[in-house]
Amino acid sequence: MANPSQTPYGPRDAVADWLRANGIDPGDVPIEGPIAIKDDSIQYAALLRDEAGHVYADPATGDAACEQRTAPLTVQPPTNVQVPPYADWATDHYISYLAQTQSRPGPDAGDGTWWMERRTTGKGMVVCSCGYASGLASIDELPTPQSLEADHPGMTNVLDQVANPALIGDGAPLAP
Ligand SMILES: [Zn+2]
């Protein structure tokens, strides 16, 4: 079995010494982690063992079966061991700019079909999957993406009908 001298957190020996100093058996921790520091504790993946004491594969993933454990952080990592801060669940921000539109049945095409006509009203709104909504406002008074960034970190603009009117689409054909 491979026994690389480097881990994502630094030299294997240094990481093992640091884990041991905090009461964690490095043999229980997969070399790729994850290991993270949350306040004054260490959150780490620990290998699960069967009744014979052997690590085993998680049938769902094919990877070694692990559970998350926590140990008190009593010894800070040395400079050659870099452990990231624990990242908890964070809300995603999917932003959409919606244009207000109006539709009405267009003129008969002469063959028994007709198309909806659609137009924009010059108003619209911004919504975010985090729950934010600007409320209906004039298009040129809507908050810019730049101004939203601070309150919606890492935001993704999934739909922008204001900047891309083509996304509004033409009226759909109506059956006669
Ligand atoms: Zn948001």
Quick: pLDDT tens for 155-171. 999 999 988 888 887 65
Q: Give the residue, 15 or 117, on which the prediction is more confident.
A: 15
pLDDT at 68 over 50: yes
How many angstroms is it from 133 CA to the middle of ligand 1?
A: 9
Which amino acid belongs to residue 89? W
Q: Which protein residues have their CB within 5 A of the ion that is ligand 1?
A: 93, 128, 130, 132, 152
Whole-angstrom Cα distance, residue 66 to residue 135? 46
Helix extents (H) in the chain: 12-21, 145-148
How many angstroms is it from 156 CA to the middle of ligand 1?
A: 9
The predicted structure's pLDDT at residue 176: 40
How many angstroms is it from 142 CA to the middle of ligand 1?
A: 15
Confidence at 74, pLDDT banded by 50, 70, 90: very high
Q: What is the mean pLDDT of residues 50-58?
A: 91
Q: Tell me how crowded residue 9 is: count the other CB atoms within 10 A of its CB.
A: 23
Rounded (10°) CA dihedral 13, 14, 20, 25: -40
How many angstroms is it from 158 CA to the middle of ligand 1?
A: 12
The predicted structure's pLDDT at residue 137: 97
How many angstroms is it from 59 CA to the middle of ligand 1?
A: 37
pLDDT at 59 over 70: yes
Q: Give the residue, 47 or 166, on which the prediction is more confident.
A: 47
How many angstroms is it from 87 CA to the middle of ligand 1?
A: 18
How many angstroms is it from 92 CA to the middle of ligand 1?
A: 7
Whole-angstrom Cα distance, residue 116 to residue 169? 11
Lowest-confidence range among 91-95, 102-106, 124-128, 129-133?
102-106
Question: What's the predicted TM-score (pTM) here?
Answer: 0.56
Which amino acid belongs to residue 19? L
Exposed e or buried b for every residue in 142-170, given b needs 16+ CB within 10 A? Answer: beeeeebeeebeebebeebbbeeeeeeee
